[in-house]
Amino acid sequence: LDRWGVDEIFIQLIDRSIKSLGPDVELIEKIANRGLSTPLVYAGGISSEVEAVSVIRAGADRICLDALLHSNHDEVRNIAYRLGGQAVIASLPLVTADDGAKQWYDYQTKKITAVDESLLSLFKDGAVSEAVLIDCENEGQPNAFDFGLLSMFADQNIPLILFGGLSEPEQLEKALLMP
């Protein structure tokens, strides 16, 4: 990935939070010590400011949070204060409800809830710089991304990384050309 000139390398260990293992600092150090010039983003098991700092010290340039966004916005703000909001990315697995409402999926509890104003305030306040918008209903499905999920961000001016159901050049072009 480094040789190909990608913008960032995103390392996501989805089981770290569910198993209460904390971040895999050794893995980050191994990758960071390879002399890569591509910035590293790490996600997985970060539940506190101390752990977020340990991830950056191990060699990641930025972090991505998911479980902590569901449980403790104050700690997210503490992390942003310490590292800077540009270093914090939100992971937002979303689904579309039967009534068309966009809802937020929690991988740990397996519950679906409404996206509330307190979550969006993390972006408005600069505590989070961008979002990985995950179409969790269409992950692994070719040509299936739900572009309707983008509607909740239309007026938010939040940089998005899209994931799940994107596989065809036409889809990528559509995503890149959307306002």
In angstroms, the CA 33 to CA 29 distance is 6
Across the range 52-75, mean pLDDT stands at 96
In angstroms, the CA 28 to CA 19 distance is 18
What is the four-CA torsion angle of 88, 129, 119, 54, rounded to 10 degrees? 10
Q: Tens digits of per-residue pLDDT, 103-129? A: 999 988 899 998 888 888 999 999 999
Asked whether the predicted pLDDT for residue 179 surpasses 80, the reply is no
pTM above 0.85, yes or no: yes
Angle subtended by helix axes 73-83 and 49-58, to nearest 10: 40
Task: State the pLDDT at residue 131.
Answer: 94
- Amino acid (one-letter) located at 76: V
Strands (E), the chain: 9-12, 40-43, 62-65, 88-96, 102-105, 112-114, 130-135, 160-163
146 band by pLDDT with thresholds 50, 70 and 90: very high
Asked whether the predicted pLDDT for residue 154 surpasses 90, the reply is no
Judged by DSSP in three states, 132 sits in strand
